[in-house]
């Protein structure tokens, strides 16, 4: 029974394999067609990718050439402009320098005049202040001189008074007892 079972299993496996091979033979052209179509699609896809990459490279190359051409044109235009415009630019720079020089000279003159005016004003102010200080000094000296003169005059007057008045007072004092004696004598005789 075990042999029969193993034989039956082998027979079934062979039959299944035969059916699968027959089905594979029927499907092989379809599978081959599918593989062929897939290869064709992949080839077309790669070709499109290559074309796009080539187009990108061409565009980049053209852009690079355009940029290079633009850079060359820019350099050339700069040379032409410098050649044609440089004399005008230099003339304008010289004119601007001349105008600036004239402006600086005028500004310096105005500044010098203002400085001179400030110096004159400062000199006048200093002179006036010195005059005020001198007047104060003279006034103070005059006051002190007058005070000293007054003291001297007072001393002189005192001295003169003492010289003339003291002898008069002494005479009067000496005359008082004489007058009293005369007055007593007169009163007594009456």
Per-residue pLDDT at 12: 94
Per-residue pLDDT at 109: 96
pTM for this model (two decimals):
0.34
Examine the pLDDT at 175 and tell me if it is beyond 90: no
Tell me the C-alpha distance between 155 and 161, whole Å. Answer: 9
* Residue 28 C-beta-side C-alpha neighbours within 13 Å: 7
Tell me the C-alpha distance between 166 and 158, whole Å. Answer: 10
Q: What is the pLDDT of residues 6-62, one digit of tens each?
A: 999 999 999 999 999 998 888 888 888 888 999 999 999 999 999 999 999 989 998
Q: How many CB atoms lie within 10 A of CB 137?
A: 10
pLDDT band at 178 (very low <50, low <70, confident <90, very high): confident
Q: What is the pLDDT of residues 114-170, one digit of tens each?
A: 999 999 999 999 999 999 999 999 999 999 999 999 999 999 988 888 888 878 878
Tell me the C-alpha distance between 188 and 182, whole Å. Answer: 10
């Amino acid at each position: 029974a075990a042999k029969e079972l193993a034989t039956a299993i082998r027979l079934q496996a062979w039959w299944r394999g035969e059916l699968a091979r027959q089905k594979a033979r029927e499907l092989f052209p379809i599978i081959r067609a599918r593989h062929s179509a897939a290869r064709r699609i992949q080839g077309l896809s790669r070709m499109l990718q290559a074309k796009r990459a080539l187009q990108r490279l061409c565009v980049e190359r053209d852009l690079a050439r355009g940029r290079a051409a633009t850079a060359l044109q820019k350099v050339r235009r700069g040379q032409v402009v410098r050649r044609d415009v440089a004399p005008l630019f230099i003339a304008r720079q010289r004119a601007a320098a001349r105008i600036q020089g004239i402006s600086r000279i005028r500004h310096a003159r105005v500044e010098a005049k203002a400085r001179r005016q400030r110096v004159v004003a400062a000199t006048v102010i200093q002179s006036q202040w010195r005059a005020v200080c001198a007047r104060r000094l003279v006034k103070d000296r005059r006051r002190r001189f007058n005070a000293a003169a007054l003291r001297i005059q007072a001393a002189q007057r005192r001295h003169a008074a003492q010289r003339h008045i003291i002898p008069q007072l002494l005479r009067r004092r000496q005359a008082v007892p004489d007058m009293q004696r005369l007055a007593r004598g007169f009163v007594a005789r009456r």
